[in-house]
Amino acid sequence: SFVKLPTNPVLTEYDLLALPLSLAELEYFRDPTNFWVNPDNTSEWLVAFVASAYDDFYVPVSKVFVFATSDPNLAADFRYSHVLWQDTLDLSNELEHPDFFKLGDDYYLKVSTMLSGQDYWVYGNYTKNGDDKTIF
């Protein structure tokens, strides 16, 4: 059986205060992905969570938020990194069970909607943006 570590949870609502102001009010913050190595900094690990954020007109938008840590034990020092993906199709304001992984040369993101349980897939590659930051 699993034993809860005294360091749990490793990411709390206080860590969310570091989010940009427009993203600070989140709902349904849940379900971490597996960790993967940051393509911009191989000494960092990334992990993603789904949540609904209120961007414009008080309408929630589901997003996949990425946090980074340099802790090799993956247990501390988490900070907000970026949004990996956002739901522009209005699938649901309650996403869950994100999964992000590489298969061949492509990366895949899978999310489910909470109400229907339907899975949705997005695939692509990492590229450099204008700030020389790697994005999906």
Is 83 a domain residue? yes
In the block, which residue shows the tokens 């522009």?
Answer: 88
- If one counts every other C-beta atom within 10 angstroms of the C-beta of residue 64, the result is 23
Secondary structure of 73-104 as H, E, C letters: CCCCCCEEEEEEEECCCCCCCCEEEEEEEEEC
Summarize pLDDT for 41-53 with one digit per residue, the tens.
899 999 998 888 7
Residue 91, in any domain of the structure: yes
Residue 17 lies in a domain: yes
What is the identity of the amino acid at 95?
Answer: L
Model confidence pTM above 0.85? no
Burial of 63 per CB tally in 10 Å (0-12, 13-18, 19+): buried
Domain that holds residue 112: 13-135
In a domain, 95, yes or no: yes
Q: How many domains does the chain have?
A: 1
Would you say residue 78 lies in a domain?
Answer: yes
d(CA 38, CA 42): 6
Alpha carbon 86 to its chain centroid, in Å, reads: 10
Residue 28 lies in a domain: yes
pLDDT tens digits along 51-97: 887 766 677 788 888 889 999 888 888 888 888 888 887 777 788 88
- 3 domain-assigned: no
Give me the CATH number covering residue 75.
2.115.10.20
Q: Does residue 1 fall inside a structural domain?
A: no
Residue 11 banded pLDDT, cuts 50, 70, 90: confident
